[in-house]
Chain A
């Protein structure tokens, strides 16, 4: 059937500059560029291009420009080009529209409407270059109080302490499974996490055996509805176990890793046969109630000898704060909430762009809810979904998060351009692919260096901003909404965020 959809991108090649080196042809795994030996020139099929900009950046002559195709339908406020084309695609295939990455729809980004405070006169600002500035954070349950016995100089803690994760900066790498991303991308995240004093999250794809010894010390391992790659060793080499209930990009539904992405190595790690669809059912079939969740949490604590904090990750949806409070009561030591703009390797577009609530609002309501119920110390909050910069992170902390998960930001650090074609398995940047020719493009040394650089740059910026507020330990900013003000927000939004308007 002939497709009635415009090519999304237009490829312009400057024939003057192009030296026919055929570099672009090699770079594009989608087969966009081809060499015509008769004419001795390169030709491009716009229709195949995903707009990932790989060929543009790697063209030695800088001869290529890839830009959104300028063709348009008659302008119509209701029927945008995207709406028309999505509809046509479905008419042509009868399928569910798939997409990758977090929602790109123009929902309000609250980070851009929140401003930070700084000290003037009454409270000295602190210079992080010379004075201590502490970002160390503990994730896990904290006791209500410490009982301390004292015999002369000997001080003894009598209260039982719960296992906690220690992070040197409040930024962790979000769950991205080996399978969804390439081995090299996965290993780069692990390497950078270990180097930067933080953690990576295996997602639901298991942890390759050869990585367990070296990277277990900075791994959070996931137990998701598909139960892939789980054995007792997997649970025990990690520092924390996360039960994945939901994901911001696709709340309420499961996922499939399509069979073509299930390579031999992926199959081995997930502990399934090569080439089968790896199906994660929508619910965990051993969790139909909060009672059952509590059973799984305890089972995992048992399986890890009560030595690891157990996290539960849920998508931020309308009534999630009440559910989260139940999850805390069910014994979760960490609660990870993934908001509307959370990324994914593959999700139905209808779900990604229409289900959930923004991370910012979610953090605030969850923190408030747990405080009001007096159980905030029983569980740490890790917020996920749409963190783009250090200022987003510090605002999240002031709204009540203990730490954040970054996913897309980490991928962008490695080269991702948010082309949203992750689900095709042909990521030209070697990130979301199992094709060895493509994943080989990602050098673990370099990619992990880029990630570590990002973490250290953001951490430094966070120290600067903290110092400006006259605070020298991150724990003193947590939930400290006094240091935030809103601009351009409605009254109800300020209410939910629990912040005053600027100048108020």
Chain B
């Protein structure tokens, strides 16, 4: 069958999964190893089934802080196939980027994981030439990543931000942590983690969470029933949804709205999980106008169906659930540490004496911001959290 013709049928097979998510941030910017988050996610082992786990860690490459760190996965069936993919990728990089440094991502091979791909990291800066000189660095990188992921067979960029990195694969998340030696080699100020329960068994390393584009990463628990609609909308803006998972569309939506369109997170939350019309109709004129305009313009980005996500960015971590809260999410603070998790117990496990614990309301974001990175209004963050706080404690 001619592939081009078939592709018109949008023959994607979407993966469906239920999962556990966890995030921790030191709001002072002090860095810590992955040990704690590995312990926390391990405690939610029952929520996963060993078919996927992953981490996003911010602040881990201080020595290369000004370079984009590309994490690559070469997944061919045989070693020569992987090497060939790597060669093709490197030829591509040579044309489009200045590569300052590259190496194999260190792994502990005594940890058993199934079919590990060849893992490599490149520290690069874009080389924009000719017409591309006009583009912003970020636009350029996004475009080239889309090109790699949709055109170079068996090569997949799974992390692309500065001074941060994603680590993921097919295993329980704590095993992935050990495999990448996250408790020994890396120290970050923000960590998000994901344990996965996909309903299909043919797990693929690239399909594990988190998904990231530049320094925005998403770990996600849920199933988005609006996937087809979200996908076509994002495709109109040049995002190639190649991975057939809900999380990918959330990551791209976050990139589109937060990075490209510069919308504040409170607004983004209202786009992904808007209030219902009955509530909008009760609002005062001004708010009603805003909410109506948002739903009118961004209706195709509404994430319908159950979800809870943690979106990570340099200096920020955002937790959000769907508008009728069909998936769990708990937030907590202890001193300068901010936690978000699927279950309170996993937080208690690593930090028994919390200052505050609360369950955020459906569709309302909880935002943790690091010192020096406050973008949103402090007020709305306080408002959101206080309100939820009172409801719970």
Contacts and interface: CB of A to CB of B under 8 A. Distances in A.
Direct contact of A and B (CB under 8 A): yes
A470 B225 contact: yes
A504 B12 CA distance: 10
Contacts of B229: 475-480
A307 to B, nearest CB: 16
B381 to A, nearest CB: 12
A305 interface: no
A123 B277 CA distance: 22
Measured as residues with beta carbon below 8 angstroms from the partner, the interface class of chain B is 35 or more
Contacts, number: 135
A480 B14 CA distance: 13
Contacts of B232: 371, 376, 479
B304 A148 contact: no
B14 A146 contact: no
B135 interface: no
B235 A371 contact: yes
A160 to B, nearest CB: 11
A134 B295 CA distance: 12
A175 B324 CA distance: 39
B296 interface: yes
Contacts of B384: none
Given A495-B5, A495-B9, A122 B300 contact: no
Contact of A142 (B9, B14, B297, B379): B297
Contacts of B227: 480, 482
A164 interface: yes
Measured as residues with beta carbon below 8 angstroms from the partner, the interface class of chain A is 35 or more
A132 interface: yes
B207 to A, nearest CB: 16
Nearest to B296: A138
Interface string B290-323: 1001111111101011100000000000000000
A496 B18 CA distance: 33
Nearest to B281: A136
B267 interface: yes
Nearest to A155: B290
A153 interface: yes
A126 B304 CA distance: 11
A276 interface: no
Contact of A148 (B18, B263, B278): B263
A99 B289 CA distance: 48
Interface in A362-393: 368, 371, 374, 376-377
A157 B288 CA distance: 12
Contacts of A138: 295-296, 299
B225 A476 contact: yes
A480 B228 contact: yes
A481 interface: yes
Given A152-B377, A472-B324, A498 B236 contact: no
A473 interface: yes
A132 B324 contact: yes
A229 B263 CA distance: 46
B236 A481 contact: no
B324 A131 contact: yes
A477 B223 CA distance: 14
Contacts of B302: 473, 475-476
Interface in B247-276: 261, 263-264, 267, 276
B100 to A, nearest CB: 34
B49 to A, nearest CB: 13
Interface string B195-210: 0000100000000000
B119 interface: no
B16 interface: yes
A132 B226 contact: no
Contacts of A470: 223, 225, 304-306
A476 B226 contact: yes
Interface of A: 119, 122-124, 131-132, 134, 136, 138, 142-143, 145-148, 150, 152-153, 155, 157, 161, 164, 368, 371, 374, 376-377, 398, 469-473, 475-483, 494-500, 504
Ranked nearest first, the 10 interchain pairs of A and B with the lowest CB-CB distance are A476-B226, A480-B228, A476-B304, A475-B299, A482-B228, A123-B223, A470-B225, A132-B276, A480-B229, A145-B261
Given A142-B297, A153-B379, A475-B295, 18 more contacts: A122-B18, A124-B306, A145-B297, A146-B293, A157-B293, A161-B296, A469-B225, A470-B305, A475-B300, A476-B225, A476-B229, A476-B302, A480-B229, A481-B228, A482-B10, A498-B8, A499-B9, A499-B10
10 contacts: A131-B324, A146-B261, A152-B377, A157-B289, A470-B223, A475-B295, A478-B229, A495-B5, A499-B9, A504-B11
